[in-house]
Structures are given as C-alpha cells and as structure tokens.
Chains A and B, each alone.
Chain A
C-alpha cells in the first residue's frame, strides 16, 4: 500500500533505531501525545529498539480516555429518556459511567435506544429518518474530530433538523501540554506532537510552546518509521542543546493547517474550560457549542443534573497521563484493572496507555 508500506519498512526503521543509539549520550525523557502514536509504539515494540537512555512516556491524547466520567453519566441519563436515541462511536459505548455495569452498551441491553455510528453524518441521517425521535449525538474528541462534529451541528441548523442534539465533550491539546510543562514535577524534555491534530490546526500553537518552555517539539506521524524519525529528530535537538519546532509529518501537516476546517469549528464552537478525566479541569482546553446553536445543544435543551464523581483512589492515571509513571508501576495493573474492568481512563480505550501495555506487553511484566 502506497504511503503506508514505506513508513513500515523494517530496514528503514532498524536504520533509524541504530542512528538513535549512536546519537544518544545522556538520558532523555520524551512524550508522544497521541494515543494512536502510543498504540504504534506498543504494537510494533518500538521501545524495544531504543537505547535504555531514551525513555518514552505516554501522553493524554486518547479522547475516549480523557472524556470525564460525568459526561458518560449525562449520556446515560439522556439515553434513559424513552424518546431519545443516543448515538456515538463504538469505543465510547463501552466506557463505564460512575456506577457499576453502567456503560451505554449495557443501557442498550436494558432497552435504551443506543446506536453505534461511524461518522457524524450518520447521526444526521438517523435524525432525518426518525423525526419523531430525539437524536442525541455524544460527540467527543480532539481538534481532529471537532470539524466534522461542528459540521453536523451546522448542517442540522441549516436544515432545521430540530430533533438533532449534541452532547459535546471536546478537548484541545496545547493547554494540556502547557499544564504538563508548568508542573513542578515535569520530567518530559521533548514532545512528539500529534500529527493529525496539527493537520487540522497547523503548528503555530506548538511554536509558542517551544519558545515559552524552551522545549523541542516534533510533529510526528503514526507509522513506525514516522515515530522513530521523530524520536531521532528530538534526540538530535536535545543532544545539541537546541529547542525548535520541527515537522516530521510533512506529508500531512502544513504550518497553517486546514483553514476551512478551522473556520467551521470557530463558527459552531467556542473555547471553554474543560475537565479531563484523570487530569482535572484545564482552563481553555475545551470547546462548547456557541449560544447561536443552543437549540442543538443537549446540555441546554435537556434538563441535566450536575454530577460530581470521585475517581478510584487506587488508580494512578493522573501520573500516567502526565508521564510521571508507567502503567506497569500501578499496583492494580492487570490484577484489579483490565480493559474489561477498568479503574481509570487509560485502561478504557484501546488507545489508552494502560490498555496498550495490557494488550501488547503483559508478558514482560507478568514474569
């Protein structure tokens, strides 16, 4: 497959790994932001190819993982309305709410009308076909999914699709990185920025982070060669004492990003404070639906109770999401916490760091 095979070529990958080993003279802690990148690292065992002095820690970039449990509880509450059809992406339906056995799939098994969709346009299609039902789209994600979700609201608004509502929980990457960098206990010395997020929003925010925190950032792709190349670029900068923004993912990312997509997001959403599961509230790190589109905002239209949920005290997900600890440092890992019975965010979705370790690396820790 063109544009794919050359980025999985084992000879190129092994060559890059060898070059990284040659270049490294000190211990460096690098963080990949995106869960898709964590997944590739684990699936291909890239960390096994790196010298011990290149330590990879895994960032908070798994949208399902960082969606606050309160949002799931709200979705469950809405799904319980007899005239509501709740639609969302498959992964989201498996995430447990605050009660036991209270994920949306279980709600479906108890009779709620819950459906899996693959794109926001499918949600609109369902709304058009079922005018007598209220279609609530549980829309989550980073800057990558926000444009299509915004488009759905815009389209519903234009068509006068009065039975389409969005329960929105969108998060933005740069404020979360800023939170990590500001922390007194931060260990991360270089970042692999999320390539697909940058394909949408461009690189400017990341240039600001580079200057403000004097930290090297490389925008990276998602295949093994992409990630090894990004790591090599970071290592070269760090060894030379440099800090700049570099773009490894040139086949997808430009400096200014996708302008029509950005316009659509700005038209429908505005920046707001947002709670992240595991990290807490981060100022200006979310998107909420603008008042002009309140008729499609599920939070405004339906009376929703405020939830405040205590997360498991045993779960170390905050430290994992900040790169302070590895999933395998957690006493609950594998034993009491698994993808079937997750205690915290990163074990929830396949893209979460704990789930990736569980899925691909258990054999290294069970010995």
Chain B
C-alpha cells in the first residue's frame, strides 16, 4: 500500500494522497478506519502538540486560565430514540468530551444543518430537548448557525456542537498517562445506546425496552475529582465502544491491559439483543458511561464515590494496566483463558451518534 502512496511536495507537512480510495461508512465507526483517516489526513495536516494528544478535548491556557475546547457532530438516525433524541445527545456528547478532560463545562455553540422539508414540529421538539439538556447540565448555548440543504442532502437534520469548559490548575488527564499497575474503572453497564438505536431502526421489540444511556457525566466526574484520588485519564466509550476507548489509551500510553470479562456490567436485555444481532457489546456505543484509569491506591475510594452518584451506581473495577504486550488489550474469560480485545476493524453499526 505504502508504495502507492504519493505525497504532494510543499513547505508545510505533506498530506498523503492515496489514489483510487474513497471514504466508506466504516471510516465513521470510531474504530481502526477512523484512526486511519486521522493519521493519514488530519494529523499530517494540522498536527501540533495539543491535537496530537488525541484526547476527547483540547486543553490550553489563555491568560493563565486553563480552558478545554471540543467539537462533535451528530448524524444519528433515527432522530428520536428511546431515552433521547439528536438534541439531547448533542448536549451530552459535547459536555462529556469536556468532562473527560476534568473540565467544568460552561458554554456551547450549536450549528444545525437542516434538510429541506423538515417539519417545524420536529425541529421544535429537538430544540426544546436540546435546551432542556443544556439547562440540566448547567451550560449555556451562546452562539450558533443554521444551514439548509436540498432534500436528500441530509436525513432531516445534522447538529454540530462545540463546547468550552474550564480546567482546575494542576489537573492533567490524558490518554498517555496510564501506567502499569493502574486500575481500570467503568461507571456502569455497556452497550445501551447502540442497541437502543439499532432496535428502534430495525423495529426490534423487547419485553422491557432498551433505552439509550445518554446522559451528561460532568457531575459524576466532579464527584470523582472531589475524592482527590489520582486519576490518570478518562474516556467516554462512545462510537467503537469500550474496546476502542481502551485500545486508544493502551496505544497512547504504550501499556497493556488485562480485563476481567466477569466484571464488565451488561444488562440482560442488551446481552440478549447482542446475541440476536451477532454483535459484541464491547464494540457497541455508550453515551452516558465513562472509563477511568486510576492509580491503584485510589481505586477503591474512587469506586465508592462513583457508586454514590446516580450515574455510577453499577461502577466496577474491570481490569488492570500491565507492562505486557504494549498496545494490546487482553480479556480474561470466566474460564480463566485469555483473548485479545481488538479495536473495531470495520463498521459495526452505522450512524449511532
């Protein structure tokens, strides 16, 4: 492949051009293909020390205040799903990206891309839900934009939100901070958002409907930070699921990880739906969960703090950071055997956020 790669000579960093290749839906899956795009196009073009950390948010100082800044686009289909809609999701997603850096979220921008023919009623429902979610999270929408595209140019509505927050002095959470011996904490059961969307889209019905876990996690993060426990980094395992979030941290910190399959919380309905659809819940998206890598001495204290918070009641220590096989995440099965937990290779579920 690399022999076919041509580069355009210029004074800046070259953007490699790969002929006869195009974007496929899998490039948006949050897995390996997404990482390929990043490394092939975006990092060579824009690479700088802040971006190259590849965290969910950029953290930088302005006049001695440390700010967190992030942006996220939402193209979920259907627009409304059990447990939320594209409006509430757009707030939660961006608030969570800020919170994972330890930031207190303050302000959002919201840009709407609307499809010709979208009913006002739909727009109104989404806007109301977005406003309510912002109020609940304690953030304000202070700037925005609207564009309309021809029918067929987007399925009803896309939303982009950017967010700004403030980070306490001395707090440095980043994916490259994990060390052997650290513990891996997960705030609750996995896979609910992805399965809620898929069930809605495919018309699957369950005895008790599966709702998206979409929620703003910054108050849970605040409760964790208040323990003064040593947190190395946090991620909200959205697209690509828990496996991708952990693989990214393992790669960035050049460490291995061993997970205990038994310890990972999974609701019975989600497990059933995954069995039915042939999906691995480790790759299914979450929108209201976080995974934290923490110092071994702080693990129990942080776990208690998480379990006292409504969004962390089912929190668990799910594994340990190791010095074996840097970059590889391994899972111990209930049989005592091990297997690799890889990053998603293609797309598992298209357009879930």
Contacts and interface: CB of A to CB of B under 8 A. Distances in A.
Nearest to B202: A118
A105 B333 contact: no
Interface of A: 1, 4, 8, 10, 13-14, 42-46, 48-49, 94, 100-101, 105-106, 108-110, 118, 224, 339-341, 359-363, 366
Nearest to A8: B334
B335 A45 contact: yes
A49 B335 contact: yes
Contacts of B328: 362-363
A4 B24 contact: no
Interface string B333-344: 111111110100
Contact of B24 (A14, A100, A108): A108
Q: Which of B1, B272, B333 has the most CB of A within 10 A?
A: B333
Interface in B21-40: 21-26, 32
B339 A340 contact: no
B190 interface: no
Category for how many chain B residues contact A: 20 to 34
Nearest to A43: B339
Nearest to B1: A341
B23 A46 contact: no
A363 B329 CA distance: 9
Nearest to B27: A109
Given A1-B271, A360-B339, A360-B340, A44 B333 contact: yes
Contact of B337 (A8, A44, A341, A366): A44
A42 B339 contact: yes
Contacts of B335: 10, 13-14, 44-46, 49, 224
Q: Which 5 A-B pairs have the closest CB atoms?
A: A45-B337, A360-B339, A109-B22, A10-B334, A48-B337
A49 B342 contact: no
A331 to B, nearest CB: 18
A29 B102 CA distance: 55
Contacts of B333: 43-45
Contact of B275 (A1, A48, A110, A341): A1
B345 A340 contact: yes
A30 B202 CA distance: 40
A338 to B, nearest CB: 8
A326 B345 CA distance: 22
A281 to B, nearest CB: 30
9 contacts: A4-B275, A14-B335, A14-B336, A44-B337, A45-B333, A45-B337, A109-B23, A361-B339, A363-B340
Nearest to A105: B24
Interface in B296-353: 325, 328, 330, 333-340, 342, 345-346
Contacts of B23: 109
B24 A1 contact: no
B268 interface: yes
B346 A94 contact: yes
Interface of B: 1, 20-26, 32, 202, 268, 271-272, 275, 325, 328, 330, 333-340, 342, 345-346
B144 to A, nearest CB: 32
A362 B324 CA distance: 13
B32 to A, nearest CB: 7
A8 B334 CA distance: 9
Given A49-B337, A101-B20, A362-B340, 15 more contacts: A1-B272, A44-B335, A44-B337, A45-B333, A46-B337, A49-B335, A105-B25, A108-B24, A339-B345, A340-B345, A359-B340, A360-B340, A361-B339, A363-B325, A363-B328
A362 B256 CA distance: 13
B331 to A, nearest CB: 9
A45 B338 CA distance: 6
Contacts of A4: 275
B5 to A, nearest CB: 13
A1 B340 contact: no
Contacts of B272: 1
Contacts of B25: 105
A109 B337 CA distance: 40
A322 to B, nearest CB: 25
A105 B21 CA distance: 11
B339 A101 contact: no
Nearest to A228: B335
Contacts of A45: 333, 335, 337-339
B202 to A, nearest CB: 7
A105 B26 contact: yes
Contacts of A109: 22-24
Given A44-B335, A45-B338, A363 B330 contact: yes
Contacts of A100: 20
B340 A340 contact: no
A342 B206 CA distance: 37
Contacts of A106: 21-22, 24
B26 to A, nearest CB: 7
Nearest to B32: A340
A101 B24 contact: no
B325 A366 contact: yes
Nearest to A367: B325
Q: Which of B22, B335, B345 has the most CB of A within 10 A?
A: B335
Contacts of A341: 1
A118 B202 CA distance: 9
A94 B336 CA distance: 33
Contacts of A110: 22
Contacts of B22: 106, 109-110
Contacts of A366: 325
Nearest to A111: B22
A14 B328 CA distance: 27
A45 B342 CA distance: 15
Contacts of A108: 24
A108 B325 CA distance: 37
Nearest to A122: B202
A110 B21 CA distance: 9
Given A44-B333, A101-B21, A106-B24, A361 B340 contact: yes
Nearest to B272: A1
